[in-house]
Structure 1
Amino acid sequence: MLYVITGPPAAGKSSWIQARAKPTDVVIDLDRITLALSGPGAPNWNQDEILRKVALRARFAALDEAIKHRDRTDVYLIHTMPSPKALARYRRLEAKVVAVDPGRDIVMQRVRDMRHEGMIAVATRWYNRQAKAKVQPVGRQASRAW
């Protein structure tokens, strides 16, 4: 099964997956990929433009390979704000799309406390788009120990 996990920055998408995925499942997380490709001492949420471009290419390649195996292992993809085209692809792949959202106030506070200031705009955009989307957020849950 392919699970596509959406939600604003700092919503708890990684924690949602961590609570469900088995060690043999495939987890495709752009933040983790970027960190893996970053030099020593890079921040956990590295927003370096070149590294993000390289990481995006790696993410696409990982997804293309992982979906070939979704009948034998679960695949979890974090995609904060998929485009309509991406959502259509995920539907064709019979993915389960899950929106993780602990609430705007919590997310904005987490972003201010833990993330790059540019992520406030991303979170705002996510909430503006979510109002129009058909994806229903999962219930509130504990996330990382912030």
Structure 2
Amino acid sequence: MIGPPAAGKSTYIREHMTDGDIVIDYDILANALSGRDLANHQHTRAVKQVTKAARDAAITTARTHADTIDVWIIHSTPAQSTIDQYQDDGAEVIVIDPGKDTVMHRVKHQRPAHLLPVAAKWYDQQAASKRPRSTTERGYGHRHQTIRRRLLHNHTDGTPCDWCGQPMYRDAKRNFDHAPLEADHTNDLKHHGHGDADRLLHRRCNRQRKDGQEHRRPGAPSTPTPRVDGPPAVTPFEWG
């Protein structure tokens, strides 16, 4: 999760996470270690150093479980090399950016004063051509969520998932990954541009699929093996 202070990163996670997910949030760790209120955003130098060590260890261990559960990592301004490493591991980079005016207003009224220059610096560093696109820019904003609700409304419980073939349910607890269903594009965005989502998938299936990976779904037809010269092969049905 990338974004400036007060962008809504923690709120996004609370709205999308499910029981059993792991959330690695610097402020939550710092306040837990120092016994402060979870809404606190000011930490001493010693707390910062201990929190960084705890956070690094938590990320290292959590990555070993990321193939079976969802791991949410709040990392406001990671280096490009860090983003590349996350993506090499199959992570989805989500940018939460409601706009500079909104963020600066929130920081001014809801956060300590020292975070104002932090937020301003975040925007100074985010050249649009270099930073990952926000959820709205990637086609997963308000319209996408509206379409997802429509798909859920029309969904028949027990319909098999196009990716894994297992049944899909509106009740997240009944799905094999215990997560809410996600809206997906049959035609991936990478090759077909921004269209509307047209189907539901399990969350884990949607994350496994990724753009351009439809051929990797379980049960997808494999590439035929080239035929070699020689007499035609006899199938079991031709034995008589």
TM-score, normalised to structure 1's length? Answer: 0.86
How many residues of Structure 1 are paired with residues of Structure 2 in the alignment? 137
Deviations along 1:63-121, one digit per CA (max 9) or x if unpaired, are: 00000001110000000000122112112212100110111111001111121222112
Alignment of 1:117-136 (within 5 A): 117-132=113-128, 133-136=130-133
The 1-side partners of 2:77 and 2:105 are apart by 19
CA gap 1:95/1:120 in 2 versus in 1, 3 angstroms: same
Greater strand content: 1
Residue of structure 2 equivalent to 1:108: 104
For 2:7 and 2:117, the matched residues in 1 are separated by 14
CA distance in 1, matches of 2:8, 2:37: 23
Q: Percent identity?
A: 36
Aligned partner of 1:75 in structure 2 is 71
Q: Specify which structure has the bigger relative contact order, considering alpha-carbon pairs within 8 angstroms and separated by 6 or more residues.
A: 1
Q: Which has the larger radius of gyration?
A: 2
Q: Is the 8 A contact 1:35 1:46 kept in 2?
A: no
**Amino acid paired to 1:114:** Q
Secondary structure of the structure 1 residue equivalent to 2:93: strand
**SS of 1:46 mapped into structure 2:** coil
Alignment of 1:7-22 (within 5 A): 7-22=3-18
- The equivalences for 1:81-96 within 5 A come to 81-96=77-92
Question: 1:4-39 CA deviation, whole Å, 9 max, x = no partner?
Answer: x00000000000101111120000000110110113
Name structure 1 gaps, 5 residues minimum: 142-146
